[in-house]
Amino acid sequence: MRNMAKAAFLGIILLASAAPSLGQSQSRGALTVVFKDGHRKSFSVAEITRIEFRAKDIVVVNNGHEESFPLAEVQSFDFDTSAASSFVPGRNHFLGKWKVGQGMGAGDFYITLEANGEARKTIGSEHGTWTVVDGEARIAWDDGWHDVIRKVGTKHQKVAFGPGKSFSDDPDNVTDAVNTTAEPI
């Protein structure tokens, strides 16, 4: 029962993360509830407004209509590939302390992105601000440098631009980025 609750909770978190970006991109991804007996019930992600846990039931609010399923009968939640591929990371995805490289084997440093939009780093100008644009964290440092942390496949990269360059210019370096404070779901 506990593993089932964890799987259900993970599915709900993934749906909650993907739903806002799906609505913006006009994608029509689907959430499918897979039951232990093998039958399935699908919902358009764009039409789901809420998923609740009530005692031992899961309630999906779909176009104002509630459908309830006993949690004990649910095996998993599946997302179709259009829903999964249209996921765009939001602000909370980037919060935390990131280990990043300086480029060309020069060693690593750390970038910390805070919830209030402040950014800190352990080399150069220590202070900056950040925001999320098109699913990537864009950081403007007080010394004129600016960085991007973006998800590339299953990993992340830090892309650095020197003073006077824009985010559309060729970068000065591209290195791996790892969130050292990421919390598991």
What domains can be seen in the chain, in order of their start residue?
A: 2-85 (2.30.30.100), 91-179 (2.40.128)
The CA distances from residue 69 to 8, 13, 34, 51, 100, in Å, are: 12, 18, 11, 11, 44
- Going by the DSSP 8-state scheme, the letter that residue 117 receives in this structure is S
Helix (H) / strand (E) element for 70: namely strand 65-70
pLDDT tens sequence for the chain (185 residues): 555 555 555 455 545 544 444 444 344 577 788 887 878 888 877 777 778 877 788 888 877 788 888 888 888 777 665 545 556 778 888 999 999 988 777 889 999 999 999 999 999 889 999 999 988 999 999 999 999 999 888 899 999 999 999 999 999 999 999 999 866 54
Q: Which amino acid belongs to residue 84?
A: A
Residue 13 CA to its chain's centroid (Å): 10
Q: How far apart are CA 96 and CA 115, in angstroms?
A: 9
Nearest to 70 by CA among 56, 51, 50, 52: 56
Cβ neighbours around 119 below 10 Å, total: 24
Query: How does DSSP classify residue 38?
Result: S
The pair of structure tokens assigned to 92 is 């909370």
Stated pTM of the model: 0.56
Cβ–Cβ under 8 Å, residues 123 and 116: no
